Structure 1
Amino acid sequence: MIGAGSMEKESKMNCSIASIVDCIFNSLKEYVYISDPYTYEIIYSNQALNQLYGKDLVGGICYKQLQSLDKPCVFCTNDKILGNGHKPYQWEHYNSQLKRDFIVIDRIITWTDGRDVRFEMALDITESKKSARAIARRLEFVEMVKRLSSRFIGTISFDQAINDSLADIGMLCDAHRAYLFSLNYDQGEMSNTHEWCAEGVTPQIERLQALPLSLFPWWIAKLKLGELILINDIDELPEEASKEKEILKSQDIKSALVLPVFMSNQLTGFIGFDNVKDTALWTEDDLTHLRVVAEIISNVMERDKALEDLTRYKILAERTREIIFFIGMDGKIIEANKSASQFYGYSRRELLGKSFHDLTKKSEEAEVNPQRPPYNPKGVAYETVHYHKNGSSFPVEINLQEAFIGNEKVLVSVIRDISERKQVEEHLQYLATHDYLTSIPNRYYLEDTLQEVILEATAATPGALLFVDLDNFKVINDTFGHAEGDKVLILFANKIKQMVRKGDFIARLNGDEFAIIMEDTNLNEAKVIAERFLIEIQNEEIIIQGTTLSLTVSIGIAVIDGSINPQRLLSYADIALYSAKEGGKNRIVIIQTDEEKITLSESQSIVLMIKEALRLGNFLLYFQPVYRLDGSLIHYEALVRLYDHEGRIVLPGVFLPVAEKFGLVSLIDRWVVHNAIDILKDNPEMYIFVNISASSLGDEELLKTITNYIKQSGVEANRIGFEITETTAIKDLPRAEHWIRKLKEIGCKFALDDFGVGFSSFTHLHLLPVDFLKIDGSFVRDLDSDYTKRALIKAMNAVAHTLGKSTIAEYVENEQILSILKDLNVDCGQGYYLGMPSPLEQIL
Structure 2
Amino acid sequence: MHKLTEIIKYSYNLNLLYVEDNDEVRNSTMIILREFFKNITVAENGQEGYERFTEQKFDLIMTDINMPKLGGLEMISKIRETDNEVLILVLSAYNEPNYFMESIKLGVEGYLLKPINMEQFLVVLNKVIQKVQLKEKSRTYMSLLGQYQEVTDNSLIVSKTDPTGKITYVNDEFCKISEFSKEELIGSNHNIIRDPENPKEFYEEMWESLKGKKQIWKGTIRNKSKSGKSYYVQATIKAILDADGNIVEYIALRSDITDIMNQQKQLEDLIDFSIKPILALIEIVDYNNLSKFYGHKEISHIETVFANTLLQSVPNKKLFDTVYTLSHGRFAFAKDANNQDIDEIIDNVKKALHNVNSSSFEIDGKVFDISIRVSLSYGDDILENCTYGLQKIKKGHSDFFIANGLAQIEKKQAQSNLNTLEMVHTAIKDSKIISYFQPIVDNKTKEIVKYESLVRLITPTNKILTPYFFLDVAKKGRFYSQITQIVFNNSFDALSKTTKDISINLSALDIEKENVSNMIFDLLEKHKKDASRIVFELLEDENVKDMNVVKNFISRAKKYGVRIAIDDFGVGYSNFVRLLDYQPDILKIDASLIKDILTNDYSLSIVKTIITFAKSQNIEVVGEFVENEEIYLLLKELGVDYSQGYFFGKPEPL
Q: Normalising to structure 1: TM-score of the pair?
A: 0.31
Normalising by structure 2, we get a TM-score of 0.39
Which structure would you say has the larger RCO, counting Cα contacts within 8 Å and 6 or more residues apart? 2
